[in-house]
Each structure stands twice: as structure tokens, then as C-alpha cells.
Chain A
Amino acid sequence: MRSKIVLILFSLSFFLFTCESKPHRQGEILYLNFCANCHMDDGSGLAGNIPPLAQSDYVAQNQEQLACIIRYGMEGPIVVNGKTYQNPMAGIPELSEFEIANVINYINQAWGNDHGYVPLKEIRNSLEECKR
């Protein structure tokens, strides 16, 4: 009897656990395909050469810039968590605004980040402003 209860509890917790995880599935896949080469699967970047996205103060403070960085890239020295980086990042023009939104919302909740949800409308506005 006891073992049956344990079994039921176990499968129940397993069920809950699997249901709960992975809310930003497309964002994650896009991230792994387009960003993880450089910023790594865990968002940690490459020491001194490529800045992190996990726990990055730059990501936290420049939410309205993210869409433009993804589409057009960025250049020139930037400081992330007190460290200076100055390798250029090329833009990724293949991503649609929907896909950009999904990547950003994945990053914003991944690896312990908690930067809230960015609606598509705001992404559109940002992209309109930095349009080239």
C-alpha cells in the first residue's frame, strides 16, 4: 500500500515538473540556433571576449535596445558587469519581429534572469526607431 502511494506521488510530481518547465520553447530554439554559438547555452559568454546574457546588467538596463542589437548587431566598447568588451557583433537579419520577441522573452527569463515580459508592440516600436 505504502509503496503504491509513493509511486503515485512520484509520478504526480514528475507530471507537475514536466508541465511546469519550458515556457519559451520557440525562443529557446532560436536562441540555441542563433545566439548560443557565441553567448553559450548557459548565457555565460566567453571570458573577456563575448559578454554574458545571464545576469547581465546591460540586458537589465537596456531592454528597449535588445531588439535593435539582435537585428542590426552592435560595435564599439561596451561595459557589462564592470568588464569592457569590444568585439563587434553582427546583426541577425533573418529573424522576424515575432522571432525577436520570442528570443528576448526567453533570455529575459532564462538562467535566473527576471526582466519581465516584453510585448510585441514594444519590440515593433524599438525596431521602428532604429530602422536603417
Chain B
Amino acid sequence: MPLFLVILLLSGCRQPDRSLPILSKAHNENGVMVYEQIPDFSFIGQDSNLVTNATFAGKAYVADFFFTSCPTICPVMARNMLTIYERFQDSTKLLLLSHTIDPRRDSVARLAQYARNLGVRSDKWFFVTGNKDELYEIADDYFNVVIEDPTLPAGFDHSGRFVLVDPQRHIRAYCQGTDSLAVKKFIEDIETLLDEI
């Protein structure tokens, strides 16, 4: 009996060569599972350049939603994104994409300043703004909820998730961007995905 337990425990610990599941919404098409892709988008980055799906072709990327004057969860999210940035700084397979949800105040110049302050490369970590409805709509595709709420100090509520997207535009992992333990685990997921690419 104890031997059985030990075996059970050991097998529970063993990591089979693991690959990340596809988490995107799916539907059945004639017996084949078809996963939804991140839709086409076109935003403006901190260098005033166009940032589209083509920017991320052949790469994985981490996406999140924030705004520069956010008094609540964003600074901690930004710090955790910075941890991811530093960890994968030298990898050519991963990029980062932060969308503002406050395009009225977060001009390109302001995003550029914010990115420069963080000291990050603009060809590695993109800070984008654009049409507000498009930003809010795509947040939904990235499993993020954004709500304008004038009763809140900053006027917005949002869920602060980091989402990992693969080169096929499928979501492969996500985590709560304010939770540094969850982010640690998320970084392992990123490593797993990058090994596949």
C-alpha cells in the first residue's frame, strides 16, 4: 500500500513532455475543432509606426491592457511585464504588446515617454493606441474585460490579464498580471511555447 502511494506521488511529479493547450474559443466544423484566431488589427505604436498582426508574424507575443495614468493595478502589471521583457530580452521569438484603454489621454507621445522611462526597446515591446472601440473589442478577444466606469477614481475598470499568443494567433496561456507567482508560472509556459517554435 505505501509503495503504491509512493509510485502515485512520483508519477504525479513527473513532467511528461508537455505542450500548452489551445485556449481560444473553438467550434466543431464537420468533426474538426476550429479555434478562433486573434482577429486582424491595426494600431499605432510608440514610434508612430503601424502595429498590425504582421508585426508579430512567426512569433509569439504577450498582450495586455493598461493606461499610463492608472492608479490601481497597472504599475504592478508593468513591473511584471518588465520581468518578462528582461527574461526574454534576447529571444527573437517573443514580443510584448501593451494596449492603452485610454486613447484620449494616452497619445503616441505619452506612450513613447512611458516606454522610454521603462528603458525598453520599441522593436521588442510595443505600446499601442488607436480607435477606442477597436481597442475595447479586441480586449475581449484577449480574454480581457474593459469597462468604462465614471464612478471609479480613474474612470476605468479592467481585468489585468497577460495573454500568450502563438504564431497561429491562438491563445496558449494566460495569467493574472498583478500576481507575481502566477507570472512566474506564466514565464514557464512561455518557455514551453518558445521551445515549440
Contacts and interface: CB of A to CB of B under 8 A. Distances in A.
Contacts of B79: 40, 46-47
A122 B117 CA distance: 35
Contacts, number: 35
Main secondary structure on B side of the interface with A: helix
Name which of A40, A47, A49, A87 has the most chain B CB atoms within 10 A of its CB: A49
B71 A37 contact: yes
B119 interface: yes
A37 B75 contact: yes
Contact of A49 (B73, B76, B114, B153): B114
Interface in A3-17: none
Contacts of B116: 48
Query: Which size bracket describes the interface of B in this complex?
Result: 10 to 19
Interface string B105-135: 0000000001011110000000000000000
B173 to A, nearest CB: 24
Interface of B: 68-69, 71-73, 75-76, 78-79, 82, 114, 116-119, 153
Interface of A: 37-38, 40, 46-50, 87, 90
Contacts of B119: 47-48
Contact of A50 (B73, B75, B82): B75
A46 B71 contact: no
Contact of B118 (A37, A40, A48, A90): A48
A49 B71 contact: no
